[in-house]
Amino acid sequence: MNERDVLLNELAQGLRPVSEGIEWFDSLGQEEQSEVLLFLRHHCVQARAVAEDAPESIRRAGLRPTHTPAVLISRGRIDEQLGKIAGLAPLDERRKAFRLLIAVLTIADARRRERFCSGGCSHWWHRLSVV
């Protein structure tokens, strides 16, 4: 666990405002932003994101259905689409991708927590509000 991991999980759990996360993301260089997006993609897949998460994720991220990340997440296998979203290059698209991937992680991890971790678990990120 490092500072980045804690920050991203706090954003996904609503323990920090998304605006703070966007400000942090914008302060990173392009390579670091790409690493963050790939990290988020991985964790969305690990949290068992499903295609049905797309509409609510788009809404929570504040994206229009015509924005590139929103179009991508609405098509095809979600794990492949998340990879395409994480690989977006233009700065404006990376920002949208960041917001969307945080929203996907929020939804998928909440479902995982409810279904598999409600009786307790060893996931350190599920104990952030206690720390």
C-alpha to C-alpha distances, 121 to 21, 79, 87, 94, nearest whole angstrom: 26, 25, 32, 32
**Neighbour-count burial for 82-116, b at 16+ CB within 10 Å, e otherwise:** bbbbbebeeeebbbbbbbbbbbbbbbbbeebbeee
pLDDT at 123: 45
Distance from C-alpha of 58 to C-alpha of 63, rounded to nearest angstrom: 5
Residue 3 token pair:
């500072």
Q: Tens place of pLDDT for every residue, the chain, 131 residues? A: 678 888 888 898 888 999 999 999 999 999 999 999 999 999 999 999 999 999 999 999 999 999 999 999 999 899 999 999 999 999 899 999 999 999 999 999 988 877 766 666 554 454 555 44
Instruction: List the alpha helices (DSSP H) in 1-131.
Output: 3-12, 18-26, 30-46, 54-61, 68-73, 78-86, 91-116
Q: Both tokens of residue 108?
A: 């998928």
